[in-house]
Amino acid sequence: MNNFAKRKTQLLDWFKKGNIIERCSEPGPVFGKFSGTEACPVSGIEPLTARLFRDGILKYKTFYSYGIRWEKYYLPETSGKLSGNVSGEQSK
């Protein structure tokens, strides 16, 4: 398993515990800032989160805090895509 796939699996396991990631999507001093419900176990979560979202594994909701737009990324409870190979590698 390559490093990206390993980190992706670690992040997915972290989401399975009920954790979420919030990302500021409003232009300004905190634009692009990530925060989570608990410390994230992997570094470089931005491309990993984008990949899991693009693959349809993560969902997000937009919310506003003090007039600033944020996106809350989470793992839906009924995600049928989790039963297969989520590491991105081909089965041998």
Rounded Cα distance between 18 and 11, Å, is 11
Q: Domain boundaries in the chain?
A: 3-76
Q: What pLDDT sits at residue 79?
A: 54
pLDDT in tens, 51-91: 899 999 999 999 999 899 999 999 998 654 554 444 444 33
pLDDT in tens, 33-51: 888 777 888 888 888 888 8
pLDDT of residue 63: 94
- HEC string of 9-43 equals HHHHHHHHCCCCEEEECCCCCCCCCEEECCCCCCC
pTM (predicted TM-score): 0.73
Confidence at residue 77, expressed as pLDDT on a 0 to 100 scale: 80
Phi, psi of 3, deg, nearest 5 = -60, -40
